[in-house]
Amino acid sequence: MPSPAAPLHIAVVKETAAHERRVALTPDSAKRFAKLGVRLSMEPGAGEAAAFADAAYRDAGVELGVPWAEVDIVLCVQPPPLAQMKGVKSGAAVIGMLSPQQNLASLNAWAAAGLDAFAMEWVPRITRAQSMDVVSSQSNLAGYKAVLDAAAEYGGAFPMMMTAAGTVPAARVFVLGAGVAGLQAIATAKRLGAIVSATDVRRAAGEQVESLGAKFVAVEGGESGETASGYAKEMSADYLRQQAALVAEHLKSQNIAICTALVFGRRAPVLISRAMVDAMQPGSVIVDLAAGQGGNCACTEPGKIVEHKGVRIIGHLNVPSRLAANASALYARNLYQFCAAFHDAESGALRWPDDDEIVQAVRCVHGGRLVHPALQTEKKQGEQKQGDQTS
Ligand code: NAD
């Protein structure tokens, strides 16, 4: 009699990237996976930095220690080096926030080892995939934390306070970019009692900003800044000039600026110039959530808090990791939803149909090759550069 097939084996790495405190599995998501009949293992201590103890995982049925040769799926936050998955078999798949364009060397090494790879930040923004949207789940927390970081650095109070000794004015908070992070920043600053305003290039953002009780400050009429997929597009030079004049004038009266503006696949737009920082009141604070993508403020130094003429500019990287427990819980749930959507109950395996919209959007390595169209362009540009250098 043939022996029954081994259950699907999902392993979780202990993150090794600097300042990464998140983990791709929580005891709660482990219990959900267990209901699918999955075998789970993880590197000991993988949840420690996010305050999830090994014992809690063990109680949820997770094996501590990964027998790599038996693993089918590897869950991670950031891409693990191949050496960390020593002996992993060809055909296994890595799922995580892989920053594929910045990690071509890793992806090529995985392709050579026969691994598949799925980049969760490329999950399309369609209704079916909402519960797998890692960008939204992490940005939401980043927007919240940005306001707390600003409050901690700012030498004043957020709410107006009327006391016998006089009135403390409410802080004025200006949010640049009203997407997922920006809207959460607005809501958080409002809850703390600040007077909040925001700007965005997408007209639809205006209504959302106002529904949170904040003032929308934007260039009137003209272009719509929204693409068909709901992201911002790169704006014309004329629009950016008008926007810069508007931002310059508005910023002078603000105490806090929270920068969250991004354009998909491009360097972040610079919305606050050095001259605009010069014109801000000393003691003001800028939090630049776009620091990792080049920054929305010309004075931002990624990973640092700097001071320019009395204005503090906070350029923390990987802000979601600063709320590691919540960020891990949401991220782990996103991963579970992704895996569950492609779980075949009959065979117990994960099946990735070639014609599925989500699979096409996130699969970046398959069958020994980089398969995503965005990576083909990167590869061609790399080859072109090499050609230019040798000719
Ligand atoms: P994002 O992180 O790419 O950008 C952040 C914000 O910066 C966006 O609102 C963008 O319009 C803004 N921006 C870009 N250039 C700017 C400039 N020059 N000046 C001012 N603002 C600028 O965007 P995001 O937060 O990921 O979301 C963008 C949109 O997608 C939002 O409308 C969001 O509600 C929507 N969304 C939809 C789904 C879904 O349908 N499943 C999921 C998540 C988000």
Rounded to whole angstroms, the Cα distance separating 333 from 133 reads: 10
* pLDDT beyond 90 at 181: yes
Least trusted range by pLDDT, from 100-104, 122-126, 241-245, 386-390: 386-390
Residue 56 binned pLDDT confidence (cut-offs 50, 70, 90): very high
Rounded to whole angstroms, the Cα distance separating 263 from 270 reads: 11
Q: Is the CB of 199 under 6 A from ligand 1?
A: yes
Q: Is the CB of 239 under 6 A from ligand 1?
A: no
Tell me how far the alpha carbon of residue 140 lies from the centroid of ligand 1, in angstroms.
12
Rounded to whole angstroms, the Cα distance separating 116 from 366 reads: 5
Q: What is the pTM of this model?
A: 0.92
* pLDDT beyond 50 at 253: yes
- CB crowding 55-85: b at 16 or more within 10 Å, else e: eebeebebeeebebeebbbbbbbbbbeeebb
Q: Ligand 1 pocket test: pick from 126, 144, 200 the residue with the most ligand atoms within 8 Å of its Cβ.
A: 200
Q: Is the CB of 140 under 6 A from ligand 1?
A: no
Tell me how far the alpha carbon of residue 21 lies from the centroid of ligand 1, in angstroms.
26
* pLDDT beyond 50 at 391: no
3-state secondary structure of 195: strand
Mean pLDDT of 271-287: 97
Residue 4 binned pLDDT confidence (cut-offs 50, 70, 90): low
Q: Ligand 1 pocket test: pick from 123, 125, 330 the residue with the most ligand atoms within 8 Å of its Cβ.
A: 125
Q: Is the CB of 133 under 6 A from ligand 1?
A: yes
Active site residues: 125, 130, 133, 136, 231
Q: Is the CB of 8 under 6 A from ligand 1?
A: no
* Strand partners for 297: 272
* pLDDT beyond 80 at 237: yes
* Atom 30 of ligand 1: nearest residue by CA position: 230
| pLDDT at site 379 | 56
| pLDDT at site 279 | 97
Instruction: With CA atoms as reference, report the closest residue to 218 among 201, 235, 193.
Output: 201
Q: Is the CB of 260 under 6 A from ligand 1?
A: yes
* pLDDT beyond 60 at 389: no
Computed over every residue of the chain, the mean pLDDT equals 93
Beta strands in the chain (DSSP E): 9-12, 39-42, 63-64, 73-75, 93-96, 116-119, 161-163, 166-168, 172-176, 195-199, 215-216, 256-259, 285-288, 305-308, 311-314, 363-366, 369-370
| pLDDT at site 5 | 76
Residue 380 binned pLDDT confidence (cut-offs 50, 70, 90): low
Rounded to whole angstroms, the Cα distance separating 317 from 60 reads: 32
